[in-house]
């Protein structure tokens, strides 16, 4: 649904056309490396797409760039805040080619909060020009792949698994809601141009070995940190053997490597999928040029040698062969999530379960990815097969993946086809969560124990429809007269907090110290009790670090804020900006770590929290909770590009820390956050 290029965006006393907003790729061109790719240079898929969406061409790795965004998506857990932020920018209408507001996370309605949020989101979409996907329509990534994904386009989503769209040949990136709100208003998305890793696929997967096993193999090789600052681009003859749902599984879970995104070429397989979805007009062939250089190196992966794999608790890269866990007895098996809820996945599972019974010690739950998938399962008999086998079929939504229902029992073993197995994410703190393929999950559900899925020989074949049955009845169009639409605001929809500008210097206490790989689930837990509070920062802030440091919120309030210390890869996982916004509300002014995950680093800056990295990792040992720290001459050091000086007033030790910011990021930090910065820029 393209917007008219002459729509007017009103920002207080200033107006500009959406056409100009799209052309204005960089507000500060002096901050962007001006290195245009030579026309004769062989290009990767990534370089081709970014060259078409960057006003200054494609930058070199490590250099800042501004990217024009064609499409955005939000979901209800992050979307309420993103739309509040969009509203605060003063824009009259979204000015992307397409923006969609999905409801897929908070569909378990145990109180008024989620229903109120849905009404708010529906009225905001109607008013400001976005499509609205109603509850029950499906998971945003599965739906966007089916209905809107477009080769060669750019997509920015307020969900870390937005890279699912890379399976269709898009540059699809997860970001904080504030970055998405700015993109909906016509601003570019700023990022450091990543290195590109070529993953060359050869061979073909064997029976009952799946795309999930492929991405688990990638995680086994490069870890949850190996993709930070990089894009994974898939190539090679093995690509053509993978369907779009299989490619999407791989790009979806590429987020667990820390990669900015993952992308496949657009080929005849892509064309066939778009034809199946009734969108052949969206097809564009797209492939890397022969001889294209990959700055991040190359990994060769022989699909024929991939075996069934499993990620053990509590990290997606704790990967071992299924054979090493043979005999492990799960109490729960969950199949679905945005990683493995496609029609192809669930037809495969239904075929393996047909005529059989789920083991009596196992609870099997299944989340179809979309209404389209569920309808197809119902019409070809696969749904009846699942039900007859003893599966519990839930509505098309995220569900158990985010701890929204279906929490396992005490100390239970749960096998899941999901993308994350962080401790406590399931809703049960002492549960053991293993990540597996749909084939491995179905095998365990039948046998009551983990086993190699290749041993299952009797598999019924269900007919795959020649064309998708398209129904967009749950996808609501916006009003042409947005100004006349009243926004629905329940009592849980609270105003955005205001944050002050950065002080000349800062002092405070160390509120908490953590180790490596602290996740955004650790910082700002999700689940059925907490997710409904996403539009109420005052209420949700009481749960910051609640799973790993129950007294943090009270301590932070009593001390009027302070600092948090972490190890490597701080903030890995979800794009949830509440993991930065809620700590900022509690007064956290800086996070001192060895390294950051990409999205969380950006979110900290968006809300005016200083992201500081130890120059010497040994300095990490010089800080303990309760120590009083001072950051003298803070503002002048940042402005002049000097490392930030940290003085431990408790011990007398002092050291310097890196705060690597682009010129634009520095302005945001000085302003106290992106909202302050954008309002100031627009008013000027």
The tens digit of pLDDT for each residue in 597-638 reads 988 999 999 999 999 999 999 999 999 999 999 999 999 999
Task: Please check whether residues 550 and 431 belong to one and the same domain.
Answer: no
Q: Supply 214's token pair.
A: 């492929």
Task: Please check whether residues 328 and 290 belong to one and the same domain.
Answer: no
**Residue 669 maps to a domain:** yes
Looking at per-residue pLDDT, the higher value among 7 and 131 belongs to: 131
CATH of residue 539: 3.20.19.10
Taking residues 156-179, what's their average pLDDT? 95
Task: Please check whether residues 213 and 314 belong to one and the same domain.
Answer: no
* pLDDT confidence of residue 77: 86
The tens digit of pLDDT for each residue in 278-287 reads 999 999 999 9
**Residue 210 maps to a domain:** yes
The tens digit of pLDDT for each residue in 639-649 reads 999 999 999 99
Q: How many Å apart are CA 87 and CA 81, to the nearest integer?
A: 10
Taking residues 224-237, what's their average pLDDT? 95
- The 3-state DSSP class for residue 595 equals coil
Task: Please check whether residues 207 and 314 belong to one and the same domain.
Answer: no
* pLDDT confidence of residue 59: 63
Taking residues 342-353, what's their average pLDDT? 97
Task: Please check whether residues 294 and 321 belong to one and the same domain.
Answer: no
**Residue 463 maps to a domain:** no
Note whether 93 and 62 are within 8 A (CB): no
**Residue where one domain finishes, among candidates 236, 268, 303:** 303
| Residue 338 confidence (pLDDT) above 60 | yes
**pTM of the entire predicted model:** 0.87
The tens digit of pLDDT for each residue in 260-293 reads 999 999 999 999 999 999 999 999 999 999 999 9
- The pLDDT-based confidence of 529 (bands split at 50, 70, 90) is confident
**Residue where one domain finishes, among candidates 303, 336, 364:** 303
**Residue 194 maps to a domain:** yes
Q: Which residue has the tokens 């310097």?
A: 656
Q: How many CB atoms lie within 10 A of CB 481?
A: 9
Note whether 168 and 244 are within 8 A (CB): yes
Positions marked active-site: 104-105, 159, 420, 574, 576
Task: Please check whether residues 378 and 288 belong to one and the same domain.
Answer: no
* pLDDT confidence of residue 552: 97
Beta bridge partners of 319: 311
Note whether 313 and 432 are within 8 A (CB): yes
**Residue where one domain finishes, among candidates 412, 432, 455:** 455
Query: DSSP assignment of 140-201, as one string?
Result: HHHHHHHHT--TT-EEEESSTTGGGGGGGT-EEEE--HHHHHHHHTTPPEEEEPPEEEEEEE
Mean pLDDT of the chain: 90
* pLDDT confidence of residue 325: 97
**Residue 491 maps to a domain:** no
- The 3-state DSSP class for residue 300 equals strand
**Residue 213 maps to a domain:** yes
Task: Please check whether residues 324 and 248 belong to one and the same domain.
Answer: no
The tens digit of pLDDT for each residue in 18-77 reads 333 333 333 333 333 333 445 578 999 999 999 899 865 456 778 888 999 999 999 998
Taking residues 139-158, what's their average pLDDT? 97
Q: Which residue has the tokens 């709100």?
A: 181
Question: Taking the chain, what is the end-to-end CA distance rounded to the nearest angstrom?
Answer: 32
Domain total in the chain: 3
* pLDDT confidence of residue 13: 32
**Residue 493 maps to a domain:** no
Q: How many CB atoms lie within 10 A of CB 249?
A: 31
Give the residue among 429, 421, 516, 518 at the shortest CA–CA distance from 219.
421
| Residue 530 confidence (pLDDT) above 90 | no
CATH of residue 323: 3.30.499.10
Q: For the chain, how are helix, strand and coil distributed in percent, rounded to 5? A: 35, 20, 45
Task: Please check whether residues 518 and 609 belong to one and the same domain.
Answer: yes
Task: Please check whether residues 358 and 296 belong to one and the same domain.
Answer: no
Taking residues 319-340, what's their average pLDDT? 96
| Residue 322 confidence (pLDDT) above 70 | yes
What range does the domain containing 322 cover?
308-455
Close Cβ partners of 82 (under 8 Å, ≥ 6 residues apart): 74, 158, 177, 178, 180, 181
| Residue 313 confidence (pLDDT) above 60 | yes
Beta bridge partners of 588: 562
Q: Give the length of the chain.
A: 684
- The pLDDT-based confidence of 86 (bands split at 50, 70, 90) is very high
Q: How many CB atoms lie within 10 A of CB 8?
A: 12
Q: Which H, E and C letters describe 414-426, residue by residue?
A: EEECCCCCCCCCC
Q: How many Å apart are CA 144 and CA 151, to the nearest integer?
A: 12
Note whether 172 and 266 are within 8 A (CB): no
Q: Supply 370's token pair.
A: 């979309």
Taking residues 200-212, what's their average pLDDT? 97
Query: DSSP assignment of 522-539, as one string?
Result: HHS--STTTGGGTT-HHH
Close Cβ partners of 568 (under 8 Å, ≥ 6 residues apart): 225, 516, 517, 593, 594, 595
Task: Please check whether residues 289 and 384 belong to one and the same domain.
Answer: no
* pLDDT confidence of residue 404: 83
Give the residue among 274, 253, 157 at the shortest CA–CA distance from 576.
157
In this structure, the dihedral spanned by the alpha carbons of residues 336, 339, 343 and 345, taken in order and rounded to 10 degrees, is -80
Long-range contacts, 35-38 (Cβ 8 Å, 24+): 35/59, 35/60, 35/63
Close Cβ partners of 376 (under 8 Å, ≥ 6 residues apart): 343, 382, 465, 468, 469
Q: Among 273-277, 313-317, 531-535, whose mean pLDDT is lowest?
A: 531-535
Note whether 137 and 370 are within 8 A (CB): yes
**Residue 546 maps to a domain:** yes
Give the residue among 579, 220, 222 at the shortest CA–CA distance from 435.
220
């Amino acid at each position: 649904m393209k917007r008219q290029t002459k729509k007017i965006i009103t920002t207080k006393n200033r107006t500009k056309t959406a056409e100009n907003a799209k052309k204005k790729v960089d507000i500060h061109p002096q901050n962007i490396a001006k290195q245009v790719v030579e026309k004769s240079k062989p290009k990767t898929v990534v370089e081709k797409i970014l060259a078409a969406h960057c006003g200054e061409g494609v930058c070199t790795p490590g250099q800042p760039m501004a990217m024009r965004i064609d499409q955005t998506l939000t979901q209800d857990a992050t979307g309420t805040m993103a739309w509040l932020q969009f509203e605060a920018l003063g824009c009259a209408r979204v000015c992307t080619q397409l923006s969609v507001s999905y409801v897929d996370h908070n569909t378990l309605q145990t109180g008024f909060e989620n229903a109120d949020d849905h009404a708010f989101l529906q009225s905001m979409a109607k008013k400001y020009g976005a499509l609205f996907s109603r509850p029950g329509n499906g998971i945003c990534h599965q739906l966007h792949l089916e209905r809107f994904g477009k080769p060669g386009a750019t997509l920015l989503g307020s969900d870390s698994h937005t890279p699912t769209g890379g399976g269709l040949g898009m540059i699809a990136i997860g970001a904080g809601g504030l970055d998405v709100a700015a993109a909906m208003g016509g601003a570019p998305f700023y990022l450091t141009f990543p290195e590109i890793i070529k993953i060359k696929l050869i061979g073909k997967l064997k029976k009952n070995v799946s795309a999930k096993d492929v991405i688990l193999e990638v995680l086994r090789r490069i870890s949850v940190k190996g993709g930070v600052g990089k894009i994974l681009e898939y190539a090679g003859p093995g690509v053509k053997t993978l369907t779009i749902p299989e490619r999407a599984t791989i790009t979806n879970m590429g987020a667990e490597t820390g990669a900015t995104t993952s992308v496949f070429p657009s080929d005849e397989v892509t064309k066939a999928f778009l034809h199946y979805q009734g969108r052949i007009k969206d097809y564009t062939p797209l492939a890397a040029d022969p001889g294209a250089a990959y700055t991040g190196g190359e990994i060769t992966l022989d699909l024929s040698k991939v075996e069934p794999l499993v990620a053990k608790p509590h990290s997606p890269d704790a990967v071992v062969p299924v054979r090493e866990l043979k005999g492990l007895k799960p109490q729960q098996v969950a199949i679905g999530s945005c990683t493995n809820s496609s029609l192809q996945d669930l037809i495969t599972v239904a075929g393996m379960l047909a005529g059989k019974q789920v083991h009596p010690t196992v609870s099997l739950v299944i989340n179809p990815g979309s209404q389209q998938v569920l309808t197809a399962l119902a019409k070809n008999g696969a749904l009846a097969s699942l039900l007859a086998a003893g599966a519990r079929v839930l509505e098309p939504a995220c569900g158990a993946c985010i701890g929204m229902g279906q929490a396992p029992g005490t100390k239970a073993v749960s096998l899941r086809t999901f993308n994350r197995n962080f401790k406590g994410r399931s809703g049960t703190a002492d549960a053991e969560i293993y990540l597996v393929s749909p084939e491995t999950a179905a095998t365990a559900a039948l046998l009551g124990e983990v086993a190699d899925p290749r041993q299952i020989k009797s598999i019924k074949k269900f007919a795959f429809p020649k064309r998708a049955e398209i129904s967009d009845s749950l996808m609501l169009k916006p009003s042409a007269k947005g100004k006349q639409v009243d926004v629905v605001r329940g009592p849980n929809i609270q105003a955005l907090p205001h944050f002050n500008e950065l002080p000349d210097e800062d002092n405070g206490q160390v509120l908490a110290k953590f180790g490596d790989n602290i996740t955004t689930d650790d910082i700002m837990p999700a689940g059925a009790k907490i997710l409904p509070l996403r539009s109420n920062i005052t209420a949700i802030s009481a749960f910051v670090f609640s799973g790993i440091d129950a007294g943090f919120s009270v301590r932070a309030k009593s001390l009027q804020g302070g600092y948090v210390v972490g190890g490597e890869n701080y903030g890995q996982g979800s794009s949830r900006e509440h993991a930065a916004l809620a700590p900022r509300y509690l007064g956290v002014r800086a996070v001192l770590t060895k390294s950051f995950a990409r999205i969380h680093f950006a979110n900290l800056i968006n809300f005016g929290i200083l992201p500081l990295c130890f120059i010497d990792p040994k300095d990490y040992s010089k800080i303990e909770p309760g120590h009083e720290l001072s950051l003298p001459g803070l503002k002048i050091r940042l402005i002049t590009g000097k490392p930030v000086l940290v003085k431990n007033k408790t011990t007398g030790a002092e050291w310097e820390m890196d705060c690597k910011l682009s010129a634009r990021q520095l302005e945001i930090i000085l302003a106290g956050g992106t909202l302050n910065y954008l309002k100031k820029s627009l008013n000027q």
